[in-house]
Structure 1
Amino acid sequence: MTHGTDSMDSPVYGTFGNGSGRSPEPEPQYSLKMFGEVVKTFRKRARLTQEQFAPLVGYSPETVASVEQGRRLPPPDFAERADSILDAFGVILAAAKHLTRRKGLASWFRQWAELELSALSLYTYECRLIPGLLQTAAYARTLFADQLPPLADEQIEAQLAARLERQRLLRDRPNTAFSFILEEHLFLRDLGGEEVTRELLDHILDLSELRNVNIQIMPLVLHHHAGLDGPMQLLETPDHQWFGYLEGQKYGQFVSDPGVISALQMRCANMRSQALSLDDSKSLMRRMRGAR
């Protein structure tokens, strides 16, 4: 497994071992629960409830609860803010240094997943499968069960738990703009069977009602298409830097070069104009749902 990107200042591409995200074995959970206990202890010492502490640290009570329970990696600035607000003598910051592993997420994906936690906007185009943030448990389980080489049951459960936890971003980050462009054929494939697809359509239609989530369908028949080079993700950080992520069969590429980012943004903008409108996309999904 190679790591061509060790920081945000890498030149053009950083390559992560197995970019498909569907075959690397997840790394075990080490210190998330311990970090959560440290935060909870200092919060209680300060006589603050989770609801009182959340606005002070700048995150929702649900996020604070998830961190304290060891169910998620804290956002990048969480430890520094918490340590200062709770007057923790640097203990929380010291504990955060050991949060290098995340249950159910392989190391190649961790850098991108951490950026997602504080992103201002996230754009995704997919032509192979429904993106992880939009999957149902049944759809995701089908993907994991179909992996080759096969995964053990405990590996499937770990990856499924990590995927479902990551999906909390859509509701925990109401000020983050999520935009998805999905190919129509992803639903026509009926991956997992008609019932799985029916549930998937219901789920995505529900998510499309969130104010911070836009979902567009790229029609099956289209004379011009700006995304023929494959799937892509674009992300804007709080300091307005843009990064990209490209995924293949065995390797994922983290992109930071401004010229490459500009090209990806141009393609994404064209695809948003080529895809069906938000309302027409919902209508198409409802028709596909009714046909099952």
Structure 2
Amino acid sequence: MTAVEAEAGRLKEEADEPGWEVDPDDEWGVAVITTVGRQLKLRREAAGMRAAEFGRVVGYGEDMVYKIEGGKRIPRQEFLDKADEVLGADGLLSAAWEDVKKVRYPKKVRALGKLEARAVEIAVYQSNSINGLLQTPEHARAVIGAAQPPCSPDDVERMVAARIARRAVFEREPAPALSFVLEEGVMRRPIGGTMVWRQQLERLLEVGRLHNVVLQVMPMNCETHSGTDGTIELLKFADGAAVGRADGEFNGRPTSDPKQLRILELQYGTIRAQALSPRESLAFIEQLLGET
């Protein structure tokens, strides 16, 4: 097999990966992908190439080319780069990735990601799972894959990719202040199996040692617990605005009302006081790792 054939085979395998279908309910996503597909088709036709011929050159099947051009399949960055080269688009098709990558993930996750990207402070108490910002890809896949009714393989991969993309918050400059409180019981549940569980615990240690992160564990033997109503999330922004949400307050809806935010801040502050200290929490996670 030649290098060209090997590369073509690799691209076709990637094209068939789940999670790259366009969500028909995502109007913005449909508009972006349709526009990119239309531009691709116009340039292919202007170059005098049939879909089958173009597909052979870029390593995709004719059917996949039609799906991308028809706005039914999200093109990968490698596909756009290869198409740009083959069709002599002078970087215009490659540049389309900047728009495509923004609609790669479900719109609800995009909305959350935008808030997290703006926040200067993020505080989360998670009652029944490890927060998505802290999850490894393998752990996220196991958690999402266990949902009932079950998600399709496409949806699982799409949601996993979206969840992992949110981890960009840890790479921001200036770094936001991040605070997490996790339940001990959650960290004792080996979702995905022992190796996936160990990798997740190692990820928690890695994140918990960052200078801008405070990670705490709520122990199971805590006799007073102010977080039994469920998850609490608080995000604060540079302009002084804030938004919060709690499972047990305000019907679980996001709120920016100052009085309601003070209630959530009081609840979260009390939970932090009841949890193990950051130093004790990291030691506890290290202990869990040693038990495997």
Q: Taking structure 1 as the reference length, what is the TM-score of the superposition?
A: 0.64
Pairing of 1:54-203 with structure 2 (within 5 A): 102-107=103-108, 109-203=109-203
CA deviation after TM superposition for structure 1 residue 102, in Å: 3.1
Q: Following TM superposition, by how much is the alpha carbon of 1:104 offset from its aligned partner in structure 2, in angstroms?
A: 2.4
Over 3 Å counting, the alpha-carbon distance change for 1:143 and 1:106 in structure 2 is farther
Secondary structure, counterpart of 2:103 in structure 1:
coil
Tell me the distance in 1 between the aligned counterparts of 2:161 and 2:190.
Answer: 23
Aligned to 2:237: 237
Query: Which structure has greater helix proportion?
Result: 2
Question: One-letter code of the match for 2:182?
Answer: L
Compared with structure 1, are the counterparts of its residues 253 and 173 closer, same or farther at alpha carbon in structure 2 (3 Å cutoff)? farther
Distance in 1 (alpha carbons) for counterparts of 2:210 and 2:150: 36
Contact preservation (8 Å) 1:120, 1:176: yes
Q: Is the Cα contact below 8 Å between 1:139 and 1:191 reproduced in 2? A: yes
Whether the 8 Å contact between 1:218 and 1:276 is mirrored in structure 2 is yes
Q: Name the structure 2 match of 1:279.
A: 279
Alignment RMSD: 3.1
- Hey, what does 1:18 align to over in structure 2? none
1:227 is matched with: 227
Residue of structure 2 equivalent to 1:213: 213
Give the aligned residue type for 1:268: Y
Q: Which runs of 5+ in 1 are unaligned?
A: 1-23, 36-68, 71-94
What CA deviation, in whole Å up to 9, does each residue of 1:102-148 have, x standing for no partner? 332243x5433311111110000001100000001111000121122
Check if 1:288 corresponds to 2:288. Answer: yes
> Structure 1 residues 115 and 291, CA, compared in 2 at 3 Å: closer, same or farther?
same
Could you tell me how far apart the structure 1 residues matched to 2:214 and 2:35 are?
37
Amino acid at match of 1:134: L
* 2:190–2:196 Cα contact (<8 Å) kept: yes
Aligned to 2:41: none
Q: Secondary structure at the match of 1:120?
A: strand
Distance 1:268 1:130 in 2: 17
Letter in 2 for 1:282: L
Q: Any conservation in 1 of the 2:145–2:156 contact (CA below 8 Å)?
A: yes
After superposition, give the CA deviation of every residue in 1:66-119 in whole Å (9 maximum; x if it has no partner).
xxx98xxxxxxxxxxxxxxxxxxxxxxxx9xx99x7332243x54333111111
CA spacing shift, 1:116–1:161, aligned 2, 3 Å: same
1:268 Cα deviation from its structure 2 partner: 0.8
Give the Cα–Cα distance (whole angstroms) in 1 for the partners of residues 153 and 110 of structure 2.
22
Give the C-alpha shift of residue 245 in structure 1: 2.3
Rounded to whole Å, the distance in 2 between the matches of 1:220 and 1:32 is: 48
Q: Looking at both structures, which has the greater relative contact order when contacts are Cα pairs under 8 Å and sequence separation is at least 6?
A: 1
Identity of aligned residues (%): 30
Which has the greater radius of gyration?
A: 2
**Shift of residue 263 of structure 1?**
0.6
Take 1:260 and 1:209, find their aligned partners in 2: how far apart are those partners? 32
SS at match of 1:104: coil
Contact 1:26 1:158 in 2 (8 A): no
What's the CA shift for 1:33?
A: 12
Q: Which one-letter code corresponds to 1:267 in the other structure? A: Q
**Is the partner of 1:269 in helix, strand or coil?**
helix
Runs of 4+ in 1 over 6 A off after TM superposition: 32-35
Indicate the residue corresponding to 1:10 in structure 2: none
Q: Tell me the CA shift for residue 237 of structure 1.
A: 0.9
Shift of 1:175: 2.2
